[in-house]
């Protein structure tokens, strides 16, 4: 398969998954029965709810982050269930976000997570022997399988194998068969000629004597007798495979049957497939998401209508421990997924999919891509993708100026950070760290094609989310018929976060000669070292976290302009660019109780990072956490409770050093982690406050 075709099909599949989830999510609650959906909506043919932005969903979280086990653990060795389990422990904050925390013995994922924290390692953590058959056969393994299918195109056996291993962290028996089936179907869809072929390939990788196999086959056989009326088939499923026959909150078998109805009666059409999946009820977002991935790959990007693509706007929100990773640009994620897949298959990477980790680079070269750009004046500024050649790629974002005058203006911007007010709901508690920070460089190319009117200008800006103020930079003329380079340094946000970055469009055109034309945007690039501070007096508590941090265990709250941490056990809080390398981190720390108060650096997750700071009475240390804490270096230091200390942690290359109140204390060389987030943490019970934090990247 050509690399270009593969990347575009991955794009279509991942978009299809997210469209299906967004379509089905409003109708997932049990109040929305099949009958009630039909009564209220009749035949669904578009989104049933408009979201400001669609907040995180476990159906997205799992596929996006559980494949990171392959990045973190399984690149150069055989992939294991224990590898997959480490991804859970490394990216999931206990009790908040990512998965459904419905209670042990009720939520399969909650139960499996607690098993692992109690030392029951995968695959035992998800086994029926440990958790019982009912929990083992809920739907979770199936809904987390999508990216395994996308990683292994035209190789259903490999996709099924990896998906099954990953699913064994939390599921067993039919719960694993569902993961294998869906992943194999996605893999098959890359080149299959019919949906029947896709389903046959899916059935081939699961036991023929399993209940899952029998359920899927029975729906297929019903379809062969009545291939036009999906509602008649649904009645058959209700009578023979319904929820009333299976224990638990969301058993996999009834929902597998719904997926089959959608795939068969959708006949390969993307819209019909996800719409039928939702109209059938039960776990609507899961089923529409799984079938949306399959139908998206099968049809390709051209088969997904704009009415479903536009609201997604190439943006996915997740709720891992990394606020930086949670703001997902879909084309970037798709290229990273393709890079991982091609690398594992020893296929030479084309230049256009090699990503610069820790930077933003939006080239609009995937069909229809928008990279999340938006405008505050959709009446005068019309945004859409164009397939015309951009600056250096086959595509650009087209901004049509519709008869603007001197009294009109409009912003075109990307959102590097979100607030609670940006969402209609908060479900899985997403947290964010800005993907653009003070000190970085923003660059883009603009081509101006003016049809009428007078001079048009752009004013680069970023928005301070604390004050709501647009920090505008120097106005720039747009020269017509050439590619203009716009470049600026992100100004100091003075301790607040930045939640918009782009440019204001203004004109001198009077009413008698309005500005009419278009601007092409290409190669929006954010790069370079950031230098900023975090002023807790300018932060807020949203999504159960203090911005811009994500908390794992403990109580974290704002108190008199400082961050107050209290915990009865070890806890940690994380911020920063996930791919940040060398940096200087300074924070004013006041220990209040307990013997462990540390700065964190190069955190690749909850279970992987360095710590440095107060480590027992009369001692400071540099420590390594790699699924267990190791003390790397220690020296005596007579610190005390109630006194403020300025802790400084520097990471340069493989050297980690600690200063206190400006005085060098100790350093150590270790090459375990080359990049990661930063943060604050305690290894045991205690409390402390933190004042303004200063971060300077020196990569």
Angstrom distance (rounded) from CA 228 to CA 641 = 74
- Residue 559, SS3? strand
User: How does residue 699 score in pLDDT terms, banded at 50, 70 and 90?
Assistant: confident
| 559 pLDDT above the threshold of 80 | yes
- Residue 165, SS3? helix
Q: What would the pLDDT profile of 40-73 be if each residue is shown by its tens digit?
A: 999 999 999 999 999 989 999 999 999 999 989 8
| 389 pLDDT above the threshold of 90 | no
Res 427: pLDDT: 87
Give mean pLDDT, residues 76-105: 95
Q: What would the pLDDT profile of 495-508 be if each residue is shown by its tens digit?
A: 999 999 999 999 99
SS (H, E, C) 168-185: CCCCCCHHHHHHHHHHHH
Angstrom distance (rounded) from CA 673 to CA 602 = 6
Q: What is the number of other CB atoms lying within 10 angstroms of the CB of residue 468?
A: 8
Res 1: pLDDT: 52
Answer positive or negative: Cα dihedral of 209, 212, 214, 217. negative
Give mean pLDDT, residues 462-478: 96
Identify the bridge partners of residue 375 per DSSP, sorted by sequence position.
Answer: 412
- Residue 364, SS3? coil
Query: Do residues 600 and 625 touch, judged by C-beta distance below 8 A?
Result: no
| 568 pLDDT above the threshold of 70 | yes
| 317 pLDDT above the threshold of 70 | yes
Nearest to 279 by CA among 32, 503, 77, 88: 32
Q: Which residues contact 65 (CB under 8 A, 6 or more apart)?
A: 87, 91, 92, 98, 318, 320
Res 76: pLDDT: 67
Give mean pLDDT, residues 378-398: 94
Q: Give Rg (Cα) of the chain.
A: 26
Res 341: pLDDT: 93
Res 629: pLDDT: 98
Phi-psi region of 560 (alpha: psi -120 to 50; beta: other; left: phi over 0): left
| 75 pLDDT above the threshold of 70 | no
Res 455: pLDDT: 94
Q: Which residues contact 697 (CB under 8 A, 6 or more apart)?
A: 439, 529, 530, 531, 577, 580, 581, 582, 583
**Would the pTM count as exceeding 0.75?**
yes
Give mean pLDDT, residues 674-692: 98
Number of H helices, E strands in the chain: 20, 31
Cα separations in angstroms, 75 against 14, 79, 391 = 22, 8, 35
Burial 97-118 (b: 16+ CB within 10 A, else e): bbbbbeeeeebbbbbbbbbbee
Angstrom distance (rounded) from CA 686 to CA 670 = 28
| 624 pLDDT above the threshold of 90 | yes
User: How does residue 74 score in pLDDT terms, banded at 50, 70 and 90?
Assistant: low
Res 319: pLDDT: 97
Give mean pLDDT, residues 319-337: 97
Give mean pLDDT, residues 461-490: 96
Instruction: Report the DSSP pairing between strands 545-546 and 541-542.
Output: antiparallel
Q: What would the pLDDT profile of 126-183 be if each residue is shown by its tens digit?
A: 999 999 999 999 999 999 999 999 999 999 999 999 999 999 999 999 999 999 999 9
Res 73: pLDDT: 83
Answer positive or negative: Cα dihedral of 202, 204, 210, 213. positive
Q: What would the pLDDT profile of 342-370 be if each residue is shown by its tens digit?
A: 988 888 888 778 778 999 999 999 999 99
Res 4: pLDDT: 75
- Residue 226, SS3? coil
Residue-by-residue DSSP string for 24-49: HGGG-STTS-HHHHHHHHSS--S-SS
User: What share of the chain has pLDDT > 90, as a percent?
Assistant: 95
Q: How far is CA 621 from the centre of its chain?
A: 34
Residue with tokens 């035992």: 124
Angstrom distance (rounded) from CA 398 to CA 597 = 51
């Amino acid at each position: 398969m050509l690399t270009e075709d593969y990347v575009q099909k991955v794009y279509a599949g991942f978009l299809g998954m997210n469209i299906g989830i967004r379509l089905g999510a409003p109708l997932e609650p049990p109040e929305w029965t099949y009958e009630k959906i039909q009564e209220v909506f009749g035949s669904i043919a578009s989104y049933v709810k408009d979201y400001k932005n669609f907040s995180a969903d476990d159906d997205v979280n799992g596929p996006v982050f559980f494949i990171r086990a392959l990045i973190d653990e399984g690149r150069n060795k055989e992939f294991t269930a224990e590898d997959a389990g480490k991804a859970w422990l490394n990216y999931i904050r206990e009790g908040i976000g990512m998965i459904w925390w419905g209670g042990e013995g009720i939520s399969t994922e909650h139960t499996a997570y607690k098993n692992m924290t109690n030392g029951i390692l995968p695959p035992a953590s998800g086994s029926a022997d440990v958790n019982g058959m009912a929990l083992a056969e809920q739907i979770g393994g199936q809904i987390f399988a999508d990216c395994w299918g996308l990683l292994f195109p035209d190789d259903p056996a490999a996709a099924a194998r990896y998906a099954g291993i990953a699913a064994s962290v939390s599921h067993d028996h039919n719960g694993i068969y569902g993961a294998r089936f869906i992943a194999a179907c996605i893999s098959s869809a890359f080149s299959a000629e019919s949906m029947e072929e896709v389903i046959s390939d899916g059935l081939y990788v699961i036991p023929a004597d399993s209940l899952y196999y029998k359920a899927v086959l029975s729906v297929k056989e019903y379809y062969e007798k009545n291939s036009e009326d999906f509602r008649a088939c649904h009645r058959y499923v209700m009578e023979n495979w319904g929820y009333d026959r299976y224990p638990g909150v969301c058993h996999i078998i009834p929902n597998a049957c719904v997926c089959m109805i959608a795939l068969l009666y959708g006949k390969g059409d993307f819209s019909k497939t996800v719409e039928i999946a939702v109209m059938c009820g039960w776990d609507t977002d899961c089923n529409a998401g799984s079938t949306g991935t399959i139908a998206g790959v099968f049809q390709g990007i051209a088969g997904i209508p704009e009415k479903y693509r536009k609201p997604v706007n190439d943006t996915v929100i997740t709720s891992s421990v990394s606020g930086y990773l949670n703001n997902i640009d879909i084309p970037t994620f798709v290229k990273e997924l393709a890079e991982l897949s091609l690398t594992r298959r020893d296929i030479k990477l084309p230049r256009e999919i090699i990503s610069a980790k820790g930077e933003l680079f939006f080239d609009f070269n995937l069909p229809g891509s928008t990279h999340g750009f938006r405008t505050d004046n959709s009446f005068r500024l019309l945004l859409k993708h164009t397939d015309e050649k951009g600056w250096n790629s086959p595509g650009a974002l087209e901004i049509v100026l519709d008869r603007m005058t001197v009294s009109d203006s409009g912003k075109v911007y990307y959102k590097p950070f979100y607030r609670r007010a940006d969402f209609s709901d908060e479900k899985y508690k997403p947290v964010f760290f800005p993907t653009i920070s003070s000190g970085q460089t923003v660059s883009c190319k603009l081509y101006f094609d003016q049809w009428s009117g007078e001079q048009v200008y752009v004013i680069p800006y970023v928005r301070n989310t604390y004050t709501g103020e647009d920090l505008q930079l120097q106005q720039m003329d747009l020269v017509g018929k050439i590619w203009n380079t716009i470049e600026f340094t992100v100004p100091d946000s003075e301790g607040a976060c930045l939640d918009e970055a782009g440019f204001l469009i203004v004109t001198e055109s009077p009413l008698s000669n309005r500005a009419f034309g278009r601007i092409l945007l290409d190669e929006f690039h954010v790069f370079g070292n950031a230098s900023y501070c975090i002023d807790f007096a300018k932060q807020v508590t949203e999504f159960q976290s203090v911005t811009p941090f994500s908390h794992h265990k403990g109580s974290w709250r704002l108190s008199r302009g400082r961050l107050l941490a209290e915990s009865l056990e070890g806890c940690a809080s994380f911020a920063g660019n996930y791919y940040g390398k060398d940096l200087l981190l300074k924070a004013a720390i006041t220990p209040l109780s307990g013997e462990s108060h540390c700065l964190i650096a190069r955190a690749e997750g909850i279970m992987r990072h360095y710590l440095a700071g107060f480590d027992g009475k009369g001692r400071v240390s540099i420590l390594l956490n790699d699924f267990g804490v190791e003390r790397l270096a220690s020296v005596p230091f007579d610190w005390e409770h109630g006194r403020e200390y300025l802790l400084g942690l520097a990471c340069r290359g493989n050297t980690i050093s600690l200063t206190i109140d400006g005085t060098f204390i100790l350093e150590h060389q270790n090459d375990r982690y080359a990049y990661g987030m930063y943060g604050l943490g305690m290894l045991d019970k205690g409390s402390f406050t933190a004042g303004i934090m200063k971060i300077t990247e020196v990569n």
